[in-house]
């Protein structure tokens, strides 16, 4: 799987630079697959799910969609 996602830009990036990426998703949106793929990368730290931490954000988003 790693060779399928290898990108020349990734291979030439500075390896010592810290980068933060936040991935948000709803249920059954592919975030578990993405987490499993990222777990294969050296130097990647994942926090996993936050047990409803973003529930308020999701509810506000849903309310905005209904307007």
Greatest distance between any 2 Cα atoms in the chain: 45
User: How crowded is residue 59: how many other Cβ atoms within 10 Å of its Cβ?
Assistant: 10
Over pLDDT 70: what percentage of the chain? 69
Q: What is the pLDDT of residues 35-66, one digit of tens each?
A: 889 888 888 878 777 666 677 878 888 999 99
* Reported confidence tier of residue 8, pLDDT bands at 50, 70, 90: low
**pLDDT exceeds cutoff 60 at 19:** yes
- On whether the CB atoms of residues 34 and 44 are closer than 8 A, the answer is no
* E strand or H helix that includes residue 65: helix 55-66
Which tokens go with 23? 């991935």
Contacts of 43 (CB under 8 A, 6+ apart): 15
């Amino acid at each position: 799987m790693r060779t399928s996602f290898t990108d020349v830009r990734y291979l030439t990036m500075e390896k010592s630079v810290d980068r933060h990426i936040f991935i948000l998703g709803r249920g059954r949106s592919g975030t578990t697959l993405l987490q499993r793929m990222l777990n294969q990368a050296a130097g990647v730290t994942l926090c996993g799910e936050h047990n409803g931490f973003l529930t308020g954000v999701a509810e506000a988003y849903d309310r905005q969609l209904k307007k």
